Structure 1
Amino acid sequence: MSSVRRRMANLANSVCFKHSVALRPDRRSSPIGFRSFRRSYVVSSSDFANENREFVIVGGGNAAGYAARTFVEHGMADGRLAIVSKEAVAPYERPALTKGYLFPSDKKPARLPGFHTCVGSGGDRQTPDWYKEKGIEMFYEDPVTNVDIEKQTLTTNSGKLLKFGSLIIATGCIASRFPEKIGGNLPGVHYIRDVADADALVSSLEKARKVVVVGGGYIGMEVAAAAIGWKLDTTIIFPENHLLQRLFTASLARRYEEFYQENGVKFIKGASIKYLEAGADGRVNYVKLEDGTTIEADTVVIGIGAKPAVGPFESVGLDSNVGGIQVDGLFRTRIPGIFAVGDVAAFPLKMYNRIARVEHVDHARRSAQHCVKALVSAQTDTYDYLPSFYSRVFEYEGSPRKIWWQFFGDNVGETIEIGNFNPKIATFWIDSGKLKGVLLESGNPEEFQLLPKLARSQPIVDKAKLQNASSVEEALDIVQSSL
């Protein structure tokens, strides 16, 4: 390694870890021990096949792909970067798996290589050949099973021993599953986290008659919409009172529920599942509820959330409240030379002064880019993320209407809803007179571009004037004039 690169690496890892402690009031007394030594970035060619593994990324999702691109942009990838992934394919834009990937074959479904990272943000399509051309070493289908912090080594499932100088953990999340004892592993029961999962579900949908989707969140809403595209008998079951309860108001959820029902989706709310029952062929055949109700199903999709895939990295330092690996505003863990990005990272949400873990493609992209820039350059700005969420459903050909909403900010305070969902509707969250968050359905590009500006500025809003707005367009004009 050149002396310049060594100085840069040491600079990136010798700054004291402080941000997540300072931003979290309830953690002032937490006994966190920080390592003060500097790490060696020299790898012995006699012990390892590739002496240039200065940087290793563990994970094969969006964050890994965007991190790789950022290394390339800084001229620090060729012969220096390795990616270790449990997946069989190069990183891709994962949101497609519950959207376009599930469309019927006659409705132009998404398929690889069409949605490899970084096409989702307008970047190059990073196919396996792209990584080869950039000199990035790829290890497919070989998850990490152990990390030795002192020796700076990773052990993979196949027995490979990899030395690293700097390590970026980008392992994402794993789907929460039903226990095997209640039928969680029966044939015909599906979870979606990767392409293999989506392939298996598509295979089931091709033969299905009755689909039950468990969960009223993003996965549930998107999979149910896709199932209707296959003209299947579709039921959504969830324990809450309405769809997407962590974000939608009851009034807003009702609008979406009515649209889904008009398209043939049935709802069973406030329900808990007792077990999944197999038929004579061994496949799932029924869903049994706690109240004794039985729903016939030959395909069941479980979408009940996800857990951070900390795997063998627990010793790096976990957050006890939001889960995931604890990092600061530059995505440094408490171990010098080790970083975590994307879904698995518990990071300081600067604008709201709290620690958060965000499962969102935009955060996966931005956190990876921010981390790598801090690692290979003199960037010291802390990550300043604006929470955002979105969904797109019923986008296939022949759908009576496409649904597309975006949300930015924080859903706190009282709400004001404007519009009739035909097609537009907007919800504004107002707290102490300030606009904290805004959701818009079926906006145009200019309106969607306005949302993050509003959420980040948090202008003082005239509530009475906003409540009297006659349209979504007028409401947006009112809040925009408050900037």
Structure 2
Amino acid sequence: MHSYTYLLIGGGMAADAAARGIRDLDGEVSIGIVGAEPTAPVQRPYLTKKLWLDSGTPFDDVWLRTAEDTGAVLRLGERVVELDTAAHVARTDVGEEYRYDRALLATSGTPRRIGLPEHDRVIPFRTVRDYQRLRELAGNGRHVAVVGGGFIGTELAAALAQNDTRVTMVFPEALVGAATYPAPLAAHLDAAFGGAGVEVRGGTTLASGRVRDDGSGVVLTTSDGDAIEADAVVLGLGIEIDLSLAEAAGLRTERGGVVVDSFLRSSDRDVFAAGDVARYPDKILGRTRVEHVEAAQTMGRQAGRNLAGAAEEYTFTPSFYSDLFADGFEAVGRLDARLGTVEDWRTPPGGDGQPEGVVYYLEGDRVVGVLLWNTWDSTDKARAVLARGRVDPAELPGTI
């Protein structure tokens, strides 16, 4: 039996931030971090962005150095499979037991696989080891198939294409980003990927896939019967949040997350949740769940402070960002092409130069998302627009 004042379940960015939040208030108490991944916490955005796009970035910069900075004890390669809230004990898949005073759930999720075989040339992308394996299989003109046209799929396709890799991108939407962006912007992005040498296979899904008999590559069969032969396939399809631990512990869950209050406390007074797994009451967006780095960092830190007794509400609405060839964006709230939009372009997509402007996403007469395309340092302005409540859409252009 191991005993810690604070037990952080999950070894990602939210747990790292929580350990730092605890240390904001208490430099002496014991902190244990139990993580299913065998490696220490990392800066996940580096795995799809900076390590690919900035050749001067040392690989060691990916590590968050949680143990060195906070004194937390890392127990890696173990998955908590039982949380006994009455006894204040967590049990892992390797038979270890951890007693705690207070615990944090920061377990995130696992990448979607879509039925492809388990093999080291099939990479459901998530961890630092996935990055290392993809690096081994990329470059030198090798061919990598990227499945998925969302945030991770587009970042991986762009990163690979800029690192001497032939890329085929397979996704069900008609254009790159069509599920997220207005049609003219999606058309611009689709053309940008094609212009960078990516073979864009929009409107396509996978029917099956196999690894060659000699293990030298993969063969994918698409929904239209075509075969794609590649050195590797990487899946950028998002993650599945695993709520089995929380549900077995009797914690309240809803719509894919662990329900927490404004202090990030779950339905058990001594268990908090933060990051991807937490469904929290956002002051602007309403009750929601966010799978982005700024949410993990800010929510994790606040959860750590509250574990240590701060009793402070989490009031921040996180933003997110991406870099795609010459384009980049920051955003707050929901980006969904099915919503109504108001577009305010300084340089519109389809014209000369890179698009630059703002897209407001509306649900009725309320702005629920703001996209800042090649428009920087304006996330606070975007939050202010979201906080307005009802708006006259005609008055939105020029606001940011």
1:63 aligns with 2:2: no
Residues 6-39 of structure 1, C-alpha deviations (whole Å, 9 max, x = no match): xxxxxxxxxxxxxxxxxxxxxxxxxxxxxxxxxx
Query: For the Cα contact (< 8 Å) 1:59–1:83, is it kept in 2?
Result: yes
Q: Secondary structure at the match of 1:454?
A: helix
Change (3 A) 1:285 1:84: closer
Change (3 A) 1:388 1:241: farther
Deviation at 1:433, TM superposition (A): 5.3
- The one-letter code matched in structure 2 to 1:391 is S
Separation (CA, whole Å) in 2 of partners of 1:317 and 1:243 = 41
1:406 aligns with 2:320: no
Partner of 2:32: 82
1:429 aligns with 2:374: no
Deviation at 1:321, TM superposition (A): 5.2
Q: Which has the higher strand share?
A: 2
Q: Which has the higher helix share?
A: 1
Q: Secondary structure at the match of 1:187?
A: coil
Residues 158-209 of structure 1, C-alpha deviations (whole Å, 9 max, x = no match): 3221111111011112101132xxx331331112211111111111114662
Separation (CA, whole Å) in 1 of partners of 2:333 and 2:259 = 23
Query: For the Cα contact (< 8 Å) 1:316–1:334, is it kept in 2?
Result: no
Deviation at 1:432, TM superposition (A): 5.4
Which residue of 47, 59, 72 corresponds with 1:111? 59
- The one-letter code matched in structure 2 to 1:144 is V
TM-score by length of 1: 0.74
Deviation at 1:137, TM superposition (A): 2.2
- The one-letter code matched in structure 2 to 1:83 is I
Q: Secondary structure at the match of 2:59?
A: coil
Separation (CA, whole Å) in 1 of partners of 2:58 and 2:83 = 36
Which residue of 222, 225, 232 corresponds with 1:299? 232
Separation (CA, whole Å) in 1 of partners of 2:192 and 2:276 = 31
Change (3 A) 1:326 1:245: farther
Change (3 A) 1:454 1:189: same
Change (3 A) 1:207 1:141: farther
Separation (CA, whole Å) in 2 of partners of 1:252 and 1:58 = 40
Partner of 1:129: 68
Q: Secondary structure at the match of 1:158?
A: coil
Change (3 A) 1:235 1:109: farther
- In structure 2, the gaps of 5 or more residues are none
Partner of 1:450: 381
Bigger-Rg structure (1/2) = 1
Separation (CA, whole Å) in 1 of partners of 2:357 and 2:217 = 39
Matches within 5 A, 1:7-406: 48=1, 50=3, 53-75=4-26, 77-103=27-53, 107-109=55-57, 111-112=59-60, 114-117=61-64, 126-132=65-71, 136-179=72-115, 183-206=116-139, 209-317=142-250, 322-353=255-286, 355-381=287-313, 383-386=314-317, 388-394=319-325, 402-406=326-330
Separation (CA, whole Å) in 2 of partners of 1:434 and 1:234 = 39
RMSD: 2.6
Change (3 A) 1:151 1:379: closer
Change (3 A) 1:450 1:100: same
Change (3 A) 1:59 1:430: closer
- In structure 1, the gaps of 5 or more residues are 1-47, 118-125, 395-401, 467-474
Partner of 2:348: 420
Deviation at 1:373, TM superposition (A): 2.8
- The one-letter code matched in structure 1 to 2:56 is K
Separation (CA, whole Å) in 2 of partners of 1:282 and 1:229 = 26
Q: Percent identity?
A: 27
